[in-house]
Amino acid sequence: MGAKKEIFIRGIGSYLPKRILTNKDLEAIVETSDEWIVSRTGIRERHIAADDEFTSDMATQAALRAIEDAKIQPREIDCIIVCSVTFDMAFPATACIVQKNLGISECPCMDLEAGCSAFVYSMEVAAGLLQLGCYKNILIIASDKLTSITDWEDRTTCVLFGDGASAVVLTTEAYGARAMLVDTLLRAYGKDCYSLMQPGGGCRHPASAETVEKRMHYLRMNGREVFKSAVRGMGAILKDIFLRNQIEPTDVQHFLPHQANMRIIEAVAETFQISLEKFLIVLHRTGNTSAGSVGIAFDDGYRNGRFAAGDTLSFITFGGGMTCATALVRWLL
């Protein structure tokens, strides 16, 4: 084995659908209030995909922006990974649909499901493949149409989610790179896996009149349990990645947390005594966009010039599985 290759982020992109659903709009759908949603979550509005706009369509838009940002042609992408919990279909892989949309042929395409942590999970997977020398440019896309599995009669969940996608191009080529991937750390707590799920539609409960009647094709969440697990899991994994890289939380200039709930982010900030100003927050206008959320925050920070050369960025996610992941990234440009 040769020396470990460095992994770079070459292009970044994201996409949010046009239609906006505000908390006020939700007041007309379920018994809730703008005050409750803002005070319990921080969310004010979210973007909703059109009826004929699917996970693959949002993924394609985010991918095109990341490819353009990478200053390469779509044909130079030689592997595609799509992360989601709302793939277009059980199969074919949504990554294959995106490949078709991008007009690329032959490159391997695969879907990766790791809940809201999938974006960081796929960074580690892609980095491993790049280390092996298999590929030059791997396109990672996280895209979810969560509103397609939202139970609009369940006020405990329907106020939380929105649709959107984000993408990055990873490479071993330093030339023109925007950032460097320093380290990733992934975990899962399968013992709590049923705290967040869509029980119907798989082989355990194939679609039937009964699964529809029991509303099993919608997302179900034990919010309180997930909240507690998220604060615990994110705190523990951050501590461990800091330790193994011998850095302190004060060495990090920007935290990019999963955008689920402002109170979760505040709890993590409190644990490490970090100023909230260091956290990139978009959830007030996106809601929880699942796998794509950290990438959407990343692209937002990038396009708004938040990052300076030499800055350290810390991604931190938690979600269905229950999965937990973190990545350290050094901004270069």
Closest separation in Å from C-beta 85 to ligand UT7: 9
Q: Does 155 bind ligand UT7 (CB under 6 A)?
A: yes
Among the residue ranges 58-66, 117-125, 224-232, 240-248, the one whose residues contact ligand UT7 (CB under 6 A):
224-232
Looking at the Cβ atoms of 76 and 154, the one nearer to ligand UT7 is: 154
Three-class SS string for the chain? CCCCCCEEEEEEEEECCCEEEEHHHHHCCCCCCHHHHHHHHCCCEEEECCCCCCHHHHHHHHHHHHHHHCCCCHHHCCEEEEECCCCCCCCCCHHHHHHHHHCCCCCCEEEECCHHHHHHHHHHHHHHHHHCCCCCEEEEEEEEEHHHHCCCCCHHHHCCECEEEEEEEEECCCCCCCEEEEEEEEEECHHHHHHEECCCCCCCCCCCHHHHHCCCCCCEECHHHHHHHHHHHHHHHHHHHHHHCCCCHHHCCEEEECCCCHHHHHHHHHHCCCCHHHECCCHHHHCECHHHHHHHHHHHHHHCCCCCCCCEEEEEEEECCCEEEEEEEEECC
213 exposed, middle or buried (CB, 10 Å; 0-12, 13-18, 19+)?
exposed
d(Cα 219, Cα 233) in Å, to the nearest integer? Answer: 22
Residue nearest to ligand UT7 (CB): 223
Looking at the Cβ atoms of 39 and 250, the one nearer to ligand UT7 is: 39
Looking at the Cβ atoms of 190 and 206, the one nearer to ligand UT7 is: 190
Q: Does 159 bind ligand UT7 (CB under 6 A)?
A: yes
* Contact with ligand UT7 (CB under 6 A) among 226, 256, 265, 291: 226
Closest separation in Å from C-beta 263 to ligand UT7: 7
* Contact with ligand UT7 (CB under 6 A) among 41, 55, 117, 172: 41
Q: What is the set of active-site residues?
A: 116, 258, 288
Looking at the Cβ atoms of 135 and 318, the one nearer to ligand UT7 is: 318
Q: Copy the structure tokens of residue 133.
A: 């020398």
Closest separation in Å from C-beta 113 to ligand UT7: 13
Q: Copy the structure tokens of residue 60.
A: 């394609």
Among the residue ranges 91-99, 119-127, 152-160, 305-313, the one whose residues contact ligand UT7 (CB under 6 A):
152-160
Looking at the Cβ atoms of 13 and 320, the one nearer to ligand UT7 is: 320
Closest separation in Å from C-beta 179 to ligand UT7: 24
Q: Copy the structure tokens of residue 106.
A: 């032959």
* Contact with ligand UT7 (CB under 6 A) among 14, 143, 172, 261: 261
Handedness of CA 103, 104, 106, 109 (dihedral sign): negative
* Contact with ligand UT7 (CB under 6 A) among 5, 6, 27, 32: 32
Q: Does 227 bind ligand UT7 (CB under 6 A)?
A: yes
Looking at the Cβ atoms of 5 and 40, the one nearer to ligand UT7 is: 40
Closest separation in Å from C-beta 270 to ligand UT7: 16
* Contact with ligand UT7 (CB under 6 A) among 74, 223, 235, 249: 223
Q: Does 315 bind ligand UT7 (CB under 6 A)?
A: no
Question: Would you tell me which residues interact with ligand UT7 (CB under 6 A)?
Answer: 32, 36, 40-41, 116, 155-156, 159, 196, 223-224, 226-227, 230, 260-261, 264, 288, 318-319
